[in-house]
Structure 1
C-alpha cells in the first residue's frame, strides 16, 4: 500500500532539466528516458506532434519540416497566444515537457504527484510565472511553488554544511546557462530575499567565444573558416551546430582531464584544446566580472564586508570564472556542481518553510486493544520464558558436599532470552500509537498525539525490557545457587543494545512526518515468525545436547539437533535481511550450513550469530527512523561522501 505524498521538483533554470521527488522523507532523483538529466529541447513535427528531450546534436538529424525549440522555458516571454498560427504555443510546448517529466516521476515512485515545485531564473516576472502556472495546469499537475535559482542554490548549500545567519547576504552566480547571472540574496526567516540581480551580457555566448578562439588558433589568416565563423549566417546550421556541440563536449571533458579534442568542419583536422584555451577564449566574459560584482553590490546597497558566502554553479571547464569571483568578492566560493542541486534545493526550501505535520502533532486513528492484538507480543514473551526455563532446568550442576561449585549452562541461550524480553516490550510498544487500553474515553481529556505515544511506549519498552533481562540474570544465579554476575552479563549484554535502539527511536520518532507514519509502523513491527522459529531451533538444539524433552521421548538427538540448527539458521537469515531475493538466497544456505556444523562445541557460536542478527535488526530500525526524522542530514551526508576528491 502506498502511503505519503509525492512532491515533485523540476529545475527549469539550468542547461539540462533535472527532477527530484520527495516521498516519505526520502529524495528520489528521477531518471527521464534512462538519463539522470534531460536535454530541454523539443522537436515539433508538421502535424503538431511534440518530441521531448531532444538535444542539439540529435536536432541536426531532424527532417527539414520539423521545428526545434532548444529551451522552451526561454520562450515564455512571448505572448501565450502566438499571432502566427504556424508558430508553436510556448505554453503548450512547456506543458509537454512538464507532462513528460511528471509521467516518468509517477511511474518511478508508483503514485501520483501531489505537489509541484519548479526552479526558475531570477529575472522571471509575473508574465512568465503565469505562463508557467498555465503550462503546469495543462500538464495535469498541481499549481507549482516557484523558487528562483539563486534561492535554490543557497538552500542546497546548507546541506553541504554552509551556514548563513539571518539577515546575512550571499552572492550567487549561476553560469551553467547562458547568460551567466549574478544575484545578491539576504537570508530572512522564511527563506531568502532577492536584493539585486544582473546578467553578464555579451555579443556571443561562451561556446561561440571558444569557437572563435579555436578557429583563430587552428587556421591561418586566409582560411575561409575564419570569416565564416564570424558570420554564422554564412555557415550551414549543421556545421555550426556540430562545432558548438563538439566544444560543449570538450568543456565537460576538461573538468576531469587536461586536454580534449574539438572537431572542426570538413576538411579541417581536429584540434586539441586545454583549460588555458578556455580561459583565453572566455576573457571577454571574465573581464566583466569585477565591474559586474561592484555594480551589483551597489544596486543591492551592500558592501563586500556584508557578504558571508559566495556560491557558484560554474560553467563546465571554466574554473577561471570561480577565481575571478573569488577575487572580486574577496571570499572563497562554494562551488556546486551536482546535477540535481537546484531541484533538491528548491524542494528543501519549500519543504522547510511549508512543513507538513509531524508525528509529534499528528493523531492516527486508534481502536480498542483486543487480546488478539497482543498475540504476537505474548508469543515472543512465551519464547523468552521458554528459553530461560530450559537453560536453567537443563543446567549441569556440580556439587561438593551439598555445595554447588559449578554450573554448566548455555550462556548464549540466556542472552537470547534477555534479548527476546526486550523484543516483547517493543512488540507491546508498537501497539501504543494505534490502540486504546479500553473503549473510547468519554472524558473531555485531550487525546495524546501519536508522537507522544511513540515516545512513551518505546521509553517504557527500553526500561521495562532492560529490567526484565536483569531479573533473568538474577533469577538464574539464584536458581543454580551461584554468583549471578556471569549470567547478568549475558542477559543485559544482549538486551542493552536493543534498549539503546528503543531509546533513540523514542527520542527521534516524533519528528517523523505524519504522512510517513504508516510506513514507519509497518517497518518497525517485530517479526514474530522469525523469533518463534529461532526459539524453536535453540530449544531443539539444547534438547539434543542434554537429552531432554522432546528428545528423551523421540530419540534421534543428532537429527533433532540438526533440525533445530537449520531452524536457527533460517531465522538468522530472515532477521538479518530485508529483501525477498536476499532471503531466498541466504535462508537455505544458512539452514543447511547450520545443520551440517552443529555440535556441542559450535552450539554457542550458532546462537551468537542469531544474537548478532537481532542486534543488526535493531540498528537498522533505528537508522531508518533517523532517516525519516532527519532527511536533510541524510542528504548532506550523501553529498559529502559522493563529492569527487580534489
Structure 2
C-alpha cells in the first residue's frame, strides 16, 4: 500500500540510544539487535572495522589492539587525538556508522527507506556539534536531520501524557539520568519551546561513583587496598574499578523494582547488599543542591514559581528523593518520565505538531502499471449499472393508441439507481488515478505529476464523466421507449448529481490531505463491489417479480423471488449506510426481514429509493471524511460548535 514516508527519531542525549519510527501515523519503537535501547559504546578493530552497541561487559575482555569509545557523541566538537597522532579517531565517521546501523533496523521494521530524520541532542550543543551531526547523517545516507533539544523533547512527551502548558507558560525540566544533572526552564511558544535558562548541578562525582565509594567504605576493612584504588584510581582495569562501577550501576537499576540488590566486589571479597536508603544517603550531596539550583535557575530565567505550568523530571533509577525535593522547591508535583523511548517519541510529537505535514499536493506515491485486475471494481459496478438500465427499458410496459405511444410504465427509481451506479463507476476509476500508470513510466520530458494533481484530475473527470453518462442513460431510455425523455433524465441525473457534487468537492480539497493519511483515505474511496452487486441482484429480482410483460422466476413463485430481492436490497442498504461492523450486524438482518415482509408492488419504489439514499449518504460521508483530513483544525472546531449547540 502506498505510504506517506517513514520518519525516524533517534535519541542521542540519553545514556542509552533509543529510536522510534513513525509510519502511516503509527509510532513503533525500533528493536536494535533485539534490544529496546542500544548502548552507545563503539569498538574499533585493528583492521578498522567498527562494532557498535556493545555493552561494557562485552568490551572488557577484548584484546589490547581494539580501541574502545564509550560514546562517539562525547568526541564531537573537540580534538580527540594530538595533532601528530598516527591514527586519530574520526568522531563524525563513528557517529555515521552508528546512525547507519540504527536506520538499517528502522527501515527493516517497516520495509521502506527512511525519508525523514529527527535527532534529540543535549541542550548544550552549539553550531559546531550540530553541524558535525548533520555531516554524520549525510555520510550515513540519511536525510538532513531535524534537531530537537532534550528538554524540549521531554516537555513534548509530558504533554502527550496530559500535562497542560498553554502558550507563554513555562515548564521546568530536570534531567537526572546523565552526569551532571541539568535543570532547564522552557517557555511554550507557537512553534514549540523557547529555552529561557539552563543550569547544571555540579558534583565532584556522579551518582554511580558516589554509590561505589559508599559501598567500598561500608563493606571493606580500613586497610583494604580497594579503598585506595577507588579514592585515587590508577589503571581502572587493573584495580577493578570499571567492574565495580558496572556492578553498582546494575544494582541501582534493580532497586527501581526491588528493595535490596547485591553488588559483586572484586575477589576474594564477599558481595555487598545495598538498599534504597543507601542510594538516598549517597545522593544526599545532589539532593542538597536542588533548592538552591532551582532558585538560581528561576532568577536567571526571570520566572516566578507561579509562572510554572508544570515540572518534568526524568529521574535516575533508584533516586525517588529527587522528585520530593523538586516538589518542595517549586511547589509543583513533577511529572515523572521513566520510559526508554520518551525523548525519541517526544521529538517526533514536537516536530509533527509544529511543522506542517507534507500534503498530497506535493507527494508522489509509489505507482504500478495498470492491469485488467485493477479495473475489476469499475467493470463490475459498470455492469451492474447497465443491467439495471437494460432491465428497466426492456420490461417497460408501453401503451399505444393508433401506433402512437401515449404512456410508459417502468421503474423510475431503478433508472435513478442505474444513474447513481454510473457515477459510482466513475468513482472506481478515479480511485486508480493516484496509484496506477495509464501509460509507461515518466520520462525527463514528461515527469510524473504529484499525487494531489492526479487526485484532482481523476475526481473532476469522474464528476463530469459520471454526470454525462447518467444524462445519456435518461436520453437513451426516452429514445428506446419512443416517449418524452424528461422524467427519465430527471431520475438518472437526480441519482448521479449528488455523487458528482461529492466528487467535485473531493477533487478540490483532497490535495490538502497529509501524505501519511493518504493510504487510509485511498482505502475509504474504493467503492465496495459486494454491496453494489447485492443491491443490483435485489432490485433485479424485485423488478422481475413485478414486471407485467415477462414475469420470469425460476422458483415458480414470483412473490418469493420478489421478497428475496427486497431482503437483498435491505442488506445492501445497511452495508452501504454505515462502516461500523456493529451497526451493520444489527441493522442488516433487521432491514432484510422488514423489506421482505413489506414487499409489494406499491412498496418497491420506496425500497429502491431507500438504497439510493444510502448510496448518496456514502458519498456525503466520504466527502466529510476528506474534509476532516484536509482541514483538521476546522473540523475539530465544527465538532465543538455542534456539541455546544446540542447542549
Specify the TM-score bucket, using the shorter chain as the normaliser.
0.5 to 0.7
Alpha-carbon spacing, 1:194–1:255, altered in 2? closer, same or farther (3 Å):
same
Q: 543, 552, 565: which is aligned to 2:555?
A: 552
Partner of 2:523: 523
Task: Provide the C-alpha distance between the structure 1 equivalents of 2:425 and 2:161, rounded to a whole number of angstroms.
Answer: 36
Match of 1:232 in 2: 233
1:639 matched to which residue of 2? none
| Counterpart mapping for 1:26-425 below 5 A | 26-79=26-79, 83=83, 84-233=85-234, 236=237, 239-358=240-359, 376=377, 379=380
The farther-off stretch of 14-23 and 217-226 is 217-226
For the 8 Å contact 2:381–2:421, the answer to whether it is kept is no
Residue in 1 aligned with 2:12?
Answer: 12
Deviations 1:553-586 (A, max 9, x none): 8xxx9xxx9xxx9xx9xxx9xx9999xxxxxxxx
Whole-angstrom distance in 2 between the partners of 1:3 and 1:629:
20
Per the TM alignment, residue 39 of structure 1 is displaced from its structure 2 partner at its CA by 0.8
Taking structure 2 as the reference length, what is the TM-score of the superposition?
Answer: 0.64
1:174, 1:312 within 8 Å by CA — same for their partners in 2? yes
- For each residue in 1:501-546, what CA deviation from the matched residue of structure 2 results, as whole angstroms up to 9, or x when unmatched? x9xx99x988741x2354234322446454467679999999xxxx
2:185 & 2:537 partners in 1: Cα distance? 67
| Residues 451/320 of structure 1: CA separation in 2 closer, same or farther (3 Å cut) | farther
Q: Tell me how far apart the structure 1 counterparts of residues 299 and 510 of structure 2 sit (CA, whole Å).
A: 48
Distance in structure 2 (CA, Å) of the matches to 1:89 and 1:290: 41
Cα distance, 1:236 vs structure 2: 3.2
Distance apart, 1:350 and its partner CA: 2.5
Distance apart, 1:235 and its partner CA: 5.4
Is contact 1:364–1:433 with CA below 8 Å preserved after alignment?
no
Maintained 8 Å contact 1:262/1:270: yes
Task: Name the SS of the counterpart of 2:243 in structure 1.
Answer: helix
In structure 2, the gaps of 5 or more residues are 366-371, 392-416, 435-451, 464-502, 543-550, 582-591, 597-619, 634-647
Secondary structure at 1:290 match in 2: helix
| Residue of structure 1 equivalent to 2:641 | none
Q: Distance in 2 between matches of 1:56 and 1:363?
A: 45
* 3-state SS in 2 of match to 1:131: helix
8 Å Cα contact 2:280-2:321 kept in structure 1: yes
Aligned 8 A contact 1:150 1:172 in 2:
yes
TM-superposition CA deviations, 1:90-131 (whole Å, max 9, x none) = 122112111211222223233332322211111112222222
Check the 8 A contact 2:174/2:183 in 1, yes or no.
Answer: yes
Cα shift at 1:625? 11
Change (3 A) 1:539 1:296: same
Deviation at residue 425 of structure 1 after TM alignment: 6.5
C-alpha displacement of 1:45: 0.9
Deviations 1:48-96 (A, max 9, x none): 2110111212111222221111111111132388622333121221121
Provide the C-alpha distance between the structure 2 equivalents of 1:424 and 1:256, rounded to a whole number of angstroms.
63
**CA separation of 1:106/1:234 partners in 2, compared to 1, >3 Å: closer, same or farther?**
closer
CA contact (8 A) 2:427 2:527 kept: no
3-state secondary structure, aligned to 1:54: coil
Structure 1 residue 627: deviation in Å? 9.7
229 and 541 in structure 1: CA distance in 2 versus 1, 3 angstrom threshold: farther
Structure 1 residue runs without a partner (length 5+): 366-371, 391-417, 436-448, 461-501, 543-547, 579-599, 605-617, 632-646
SS of 2:53 mapped into structure 1: strand
Residues 280 and 517 (structure 1), Cα distance of their counterparts in 2 relative to 1, 3 Å cut:
closer
Give the 3-state SS of the residue equivalent to 1:288 in structure 2: helix
Separation in 1, partners of 2:26, 2:20? 10
Change (3 A) 1:196 1:119: same
Kindly provide the CA deviation profile for residues 361-380 of structure 1, in whole angstroms up to 9, marking residues without a partner as x. Answer: 77999xxxxxx999847856
For normalisation by structure 1, the TM-score amounts to 0.64
Q: Secondary structure at the match of 2:27?
A: strand
Matches within 5 A, 1:449-598: 512-513=513-514, 515-516=515-516, 518-526=518-526, 528-531=528-531, 552=555
Check the 8 A contact 1:82/1:88 in 2, yes or no.
Answer: no
The 1-side partners of 2:630 and 2:340 are apart by 24
Q: Determine helix, strand or coil for the equivalent of 2:234.
A: coil
Using the alignment, how far apart are the partners of 1:322 and 1:423 within structure 2? 66
Q: Would you say how many aligned residue pairs link Structure 1 and Structure 2?
A: 519
> 1:424: how far off?
9.0
Shift of 1:44: 1.0
Instruction: Return the alpha-carbon distance in structure 1 between the equivalents of residues 170 and 34 of structure 2.
Output: 39
Is the CA contact (8 Å cut-off) linking 1:119 and 1:148 kept in structure 2? yes
Q: State the shift of 1:40 in Å.
A: 0.7
Q: Structure 1 pair 198/523, CA: closer, same or farther in 2 (3 Å)?
A: same
Instruction: Indicate conservation of the 8 Å contact 1:509/1:626, yes or no.
Output: no
Query: Once superposed, what is the RMSD of the aligned Cα atoms?
Result: 5.8
Cα deviation, residue 41, structure 1: 0.6
Separation in 1, partners of 2:82, 2:73 = 15
The alignment partner of 2:198 has SS state of strand
Alpha-carbon distance between aligned partners in 2 of 1:110 and 1:250, rounded to the nearest angstrom: 39
Contact 1:45 1:67 (C-alpha < 8 Å) held by counterparts: yes
Identify if the C-alpha distance between structure 1 residues 151 and 428 changes in structure 2 by more than 3 Å, giving closer, same or farther: same
Q: In terms of mean alpha carbon deviation, does 249-258 or 207-216 score higher?
A: 249-258
What secondary structure sits across from 2:245 in the alignment? helix
Cα shift at 1:230 = 2.4
Q: Which residue of 1 aligns with 2:22?
A: 22
